[in-house]
Structure 1
Amino acid sequence: MRAAGKAWISVVVLVAGIALLPGLLYLLGLTLVEGRPQPADRVPSGVAACTSEPRTGYQPMNPWRFIAQFFDKDVMKKKVPEVEREAFWIARRHLWRQPQQDMLRWHLSSTALTIWITRHWSTAQIADTARKEDFCRAWSKRRVPGGPMRK
């Protein structure tokens, strides 16, 4: 095989590896999680847990979009949608109930579980589970002046 052919194969393998990396990290993160959280057994309300933000038009997260956000300055300036914030809260609560892991595994499994929740639950299920987990009260305590986040 010629050197040029080997170089092209190397480039293709490298590009494929980079393209597959977010998905592979997502799958690895999910394998680190024991079980999956269950949505709340409530009648869906269809509104955010803490705000009246409508739940229509939300696109579930995926590993590639999550990584792409870090390279888009406009996305970085925008407010995180309530759906993603609530899904992250649910994922964290689920992981708190499991044996402790090192920081890298915690972040990887937390991100993977957040993506999984937005892909497998409806926005109403996310809102109702966040409400059941007392997300609103905990989040508002962090945001008020003089709350726990004050340093």
Structure 2
Amino acid sequence: MTENERIIKKIYGYFDNITPIKADCGMICNNKCCKGNDTDGMLLFPGEENLFKEKDGFKVFYDSRYGYNVVSCSGVCNRSQRPLSCRIFPYFIYASSSDNLSVAPDLRASDFCPLLTEEFSISKDFLRALRISAKLMESNIEYVDFLKKLTAVLTDFNNL
């Protein structure tokens, strides 16, 4: 197991029984974040590609919008087998120019995720797990570089 795979599996453990709210948020919006087409997918963090490329029900492909591999599924999956991008949605871990990582709402989610547009109380345990994950990633240059590049891409998307 690589160092990145070890880190990602440890982070998965932080979200085993934690979700953004105390209910199935997919029931609120009819699973909008799990719907897409053949060109949509969730970003794969360093260490995740090998975990998904041969897993039934998942398709890994390169997304030129981000410059990284993403994974798509049928829209229905076992929650314990989701990639990190799904586990932390509708939040993301952003990198500053000084390599500090912080947690904030995912800029791409603001138009369609009711958790960000309506009065919902995001779980403190969920936010704590995000901050702990960011701290763990901060100690790994590959994660920091990955998040710096994605922060720039997501900021550009938001400015369009």
With the length of structure 2 as denominator, give the TM-score of the two structures: 0.28
More strand by share: 2
Instruction: Pick the structure with greater CA Rg.
Output: 1
For CA contacts below 8 A with separation 6 or more, give which structure has more relative contact order. 1
TM-score (ref. length: structure 1): 0.29
